[in-house]
Amino acid sequence: MDVLNFTYPGETRVSHRAHVGVVGSGDLEILLEPSPDGAAHVRVRTSVDGYAPIWRKVLDRFFSRYKGCVSIEINDFGATPGMVMLRLQQAVEEQGQ
Amino acid sequence: MSAEQSDLSVRGRQWFEALSGENGVTASGPASVLKADAVLGDETVRFLAVVPDPESRFPRARKGEVGLEQAWTLAKYVRETIELDKGATPRPIVAVVDVPSQAYGRREELIGIYLACAAAVDAYATARMAGHPVIALLVGKAMSGAFLAHGYQANRILALDDPGVMVHAMGKAAAARVTKRSVEDLDALGETVVPMSYDIRNYAKLGLLHKVIKGVAADSLGADAVALVRKELVAAISDTRAGGRDLSIRLESDAAKKVRHASIEVRKRLIEQWPDA
Amino acid sequence: MSVTIDLQRFLARRSFVELSARERAHALLDKGSGKELVGPFDRQHSVWLEMQNIVPQEDDGVVVIHGRMDGKPAVVVAIEGAFQGGSMGEVAGQKIVCALELAKRDHERGIPTRPVLLLETGGVRLQEANLGLAVIAEIHAAIIALRPYVPVVAVIAGLVGCFGGMSLAAALCSHLILTRQARLGMNGPEVIEQEAGIAEMDAGDKRLVWSLIGGEQRAAVGLIDDLVEDDAEAVAHAVRAAFQARRPVQHRSEQVDFFLERLAAIDPEQVKDGAALRALWGKGEVK
């Protein structure tokens, strides 16, 4: 299990939280909530070791468009980058509702 | 086949006989379930044990496993006790525990060993709730589903401090296969991850045991050893009568507060968040 | 008119098996009434998994939703089979125990809370071995203590099924509902093959496995109360109906003499497959 931490600049405040996904084969769980500061923080626990550069890439891409001040916790059980992206989008959508 | 698997344990039978003074064989029941009503302290106590029966008509339950006949018969003998004492002081029930596993077999699954074991659980829990002090005395293996059916519903669990006395969810050899570890690795892991341990002294750290009886080797049943165990059983029975009829005591010991703090915390939160109506 | 309703029903039909534990629980409650207790943001995950470098899930694989069912208070406790095979760890199991105990406390206070368990579990979580086993014993105790007040209704939908010590928990419930996709047994087929050899059990033979312990077989020999289609509405209907029915006078696990007689009548050499048991205990083919 690897534990990875990332920080991105945030612009817009969020007021709600969201939870999506399960820690099942090829899937992941995301907990999204308002960040305590003006930045976005991501903490990843992943069952697949040695993929920090891939996580960086996926999250860079996500935060190039999304500017919420959020704290995100990810519990990953071998999800593909596409799945990670999908779940992140779902979490943001759910948060907005 | 390892010696561990081929040797039939005699501990359950020996302790049953030493404590009850009887052989426990009944005319109607299977030879693998022993039952006796015998005096302990100043009252009559029902003793129960599951022992090997190489002649059992179910071939997967000949080595002391809790199978279909054993589990349903335990249920019968426990419920019989409840009936016997209706309107009187409920007598204590002592489960002498030396069970290597539940029976693993095709027939067992087909016919419903899950229900048979549930019936034994149901009977023991019902007896406990009816005020029978239920004591489990671990003298050998207390494994997995077999222990659930015979002993784990007890008000108090006592264990002899002996390397052959162990509680676990899966036999060591099988657990090693499933987790792809060696038996040695498994033992090492048990020292850091306490619930994984096969050692009864580590099990005691979980706070589930009432007492580890020190100084009694499970295979040497001298008069002193038997007298000490009888004394501890009497003390556990009296402790039970002074307490509640549920299992909440298992989260109240100092050991439990330390090792099972996550259990205590999640309960606290659920109670706080539970709606009033 | 009825054609329209049937069509609407057909279009609205959705698989229960494919739902997550959380979705399943909400699907059984009155629409919009469910509120999750000790959810993921409480972060009550397993400490033992992290110690062994295994990624935890923040609800530890058990979802507790309190809400209304036919307007009455209800609690649905659902196990997430996709997380660690629905295995019972310390926290996961304790949520079930505590929810059942609180339902009992409600009844003692005159609040008629309906308890429902959605079981999807391989049994003890091996990484928490003795704490998993211990908490399963506590689940058993809690079901038995609650049953005198209200039926405890359990659903095994599949695909994991219900095994190990949790199969005993299922058997202790007042009303047991399975789908054809579900299996109910104490020892999983793989474990039996491992322990007793492939002649005893060929775990790879799915047809054989389901013919022994599948939902349809269990229903045919009267070991469960309902066999339902894999449809969220059908499951919800069966659960609600179970609370309308009177509590069984005697649970199966209390019918000791009856089952001992049945067992005595069985020749172990003859009864080795589903058909043989149906011939003895069968109520005829299920629809």
Between strands B211-213 and C62-69, the pairing is unpaired
- Domain-by-domain residue ranges, chain A? 2-92
Rounded CA gap, B207 and B201, in Å? 11
What percent of chain C clears pLDDT 70, i.e. is strictly above it? 95
Q: Closest chain A residue to C41 measured between Cα atoms?
A: A31
Beta-carbon separation of A75 and C53 below 8 A: no
Whether A41 has its CB under 8 Å from any CB of chain C: the answer is no
What is B3-246's CATH superfamily?
2-enoyl-CoA Hydratase; Chain A, domain 1 (3.90.226.10)
- Give the burial string for C91-111 (b: 16+ CB within 10 Å, else e): bbbbbbbbbbbbbbebbeeee
CB distance B124 to B154 below 8 Å: yes
Q: What are phi and psi of C37, to 5 degrees?
A: -110, 140
pLDDT mean across residues, chain B: 94
On whether any CB of chain C is under 8 Å from the CB of B94, the answer is: no
Cα separations in angstroms, B30 against A69, B62, B72, C53: 69, 11, 10, 46
Where does chain B show beta strands of DSSP type E?
33-40, 43-50, 93-99, 134-143, 156-160, 166-168, 211-213
Residue B93, classed as helix, strand or coil, is strand
Query: Looking at C72-231, which runs of residues are DSSP E strands?
Result: 72-79, 114-118, 153-156, 175-179, 226-228
Q: What does the pLDDT read at residue B277?
A: 66
Q: How far apart are CA C55 and CA C72, in angstroms?
A: 37
Cα separation, C250 vs C257, in Å, equals: 12
**Does residue A76 sit at the C interface (CB-CB below 8 Å)?**
yes
Q: Tell which B residues from 60 to 89 touch C, by Cβ distance under 8 Å.
A: 60, 68-69, 72-73, 75-76, 79
Chain B: residue whose CA lies nearest to C38: B270
Mean pLDDT for the stretch of residues B152-179: 91
d(C-alpha B24, C-alpha B31), whole Å? 9
Phi, psi torsion values for C111, nearest 5 degrees: -100, 115
Tokens 């309960």 sit at which residue? B267
Rounded CA-CA distance C272/C252 in Å is: 22
Span B134-143, average pLDDT: 98
pLDDT score for C138: 98
Instruction: Tell me the shortest Cα–Cα distance from B23 to chain C, in angstroms.
Output: 23
Tell me: pLDDT of C287 over 80: no
DSSP label at B65? -
Q: CA quadruple C85, C87, C93, C96: dihedral positive or negative? A: positive
Determine the average pLDDT of the residues in B23-30: 94
Residues of C with Cβ-Cβ distance to A16 under 8 angstroms: none
The CA distance from C172 to the nearest CA of chain B, in Å, is 6
CB contact burial C224-243 (16+ within 10 A = b; e otherwise): bbbbbebbbebbbebbbebb
SS3 label, residue C43: coil
Read off the pLDDT of residues B72-91 as tens digits, 9 standing for 90 and up.
999 999 999 999 999 999 99
> What is the per-residue pLDDT across C177-209, written as a single tens digit (0 to 9) for each?
999 999 999 999 999 998 899 999 999 999 999
pLDDT (0 to 100) of residue B81: 98
Q: Is pLDDT at B240 greater than 80 in this prediction?
A: yes
ipTM of the predicted structure?
A: 0.96
Whether residue B4 lies within 8 A of chain C, CB to CB, comes out as no
pLDDT above 60 (res B3): no
Q: Do C196 and B118 touch (CB under 8 A)?
A: no
Partner residue opposite C83 with nearest CB, options A17, A22, A46: A22
Q: How many CB atoms lie within 10 A of CB C189?
A: 25
Residue B4 has pLDDT above 80, yes or no: no
- pLDDT-derived band at C286, boundaries 50, 70, 90: very low
- Kindly determine whether residue A19 and residue C41, on different chains, have CB atoms separated by under 8 Å: yes
Whether the CB of C55 is below 8 Å from some CB of chain A: the reply is yes
Q: Where are the domains of chain C?
A: 13-184+224-254
Task: Name the pairing type of β-strands A68-76 and B43-50.
Answer: unpaired
Of C2 and B93, more confident: B93
DSSP reduced 3-state for C122: coil
Q: What is the SS3 assignment for B140-169?
A: EEEEHHHHHHCCCCCCEEEEECCCCCEEEC
Domain ranges of chain B: 3-246, 247-277
Average pLDDT over residues A30-48: 96
- Looking at 3.40.50.1360, 3.40.50.10860, 3.30.1360.180, 3.90.226.10, the CATH number of the domain C13-184+224-254 comes to 3.90.226.10
Most A CBs within 10 Å, among C24, C47, C55, C60, to test the A interface: C55
> How far does the CA of residue C13 sit from the closest CA of chain B (Å)?
31
Which residues of chain C neighbour B177 with C-beta distances below 8 Å?
194
Q: Over 70: is that where the pLDDT of B123 sits?
A: yes
Per-residue model confidence (pLDDT) at position C3? 58
Interface contact B122, partner C, CB < 8 A:
yes
Q: In chain A, helix, strand, coil percent, each to 5?
A: 30, 40, 30
**Mean pLDDT, residues B234-254:** 97
pTM for this predicted structure: 0.96
pLDDT at C31: 96
Statement: residue B183 has pLDDT above 90: no
Minimal-distance CA residue of chain C relative to B155: C141
All residues of chain B having their beta carbon less than 8 Å from the beta carbon of residue C129 are 168-170, 175, 195-196
At residue B30, the 3 state secondary structure works out as coil
B touches A (3+ CB pairs < 8 Å)? no
Q: What pLDDT is stored for residue C5 in this prediction?
A: 63
Q: State mean pLDDT over C166-178.
A: 98
Chain B, 192-231: which have a CB under 8 Å from a chain C CB?
192-197, 203, 206, 208
User: Band of the pLDDT at B186, cuts 50, 70, 90?
Assistant: confident
> Do C230 and C221 touch, CB atoms closer than 8 A?
no
Cβ contact A27:A82 at 8 Å:
no
Q: Would you call B246 an interface residue with chain C, using a CB distance cutoff of 8 Å? A: yes
Predicted local confidence at residue B173, as pLDDT: 82
Q: What is the mean pLDDT of chain C?
A: 94
Contact B15, B50 (CB under 8 A): no
Q: Is the pLDDT of residue C230 over 80?
A: yes
Average pLDDT of C98-117?
A: 98
Q: Which stretches of C1-111 are assigned E, i.e. beta strand?
A: 35-37, 62-69, 72-79
Q: Is C200 helix (H, G, I), strand (E, B) or coil?
A: coil
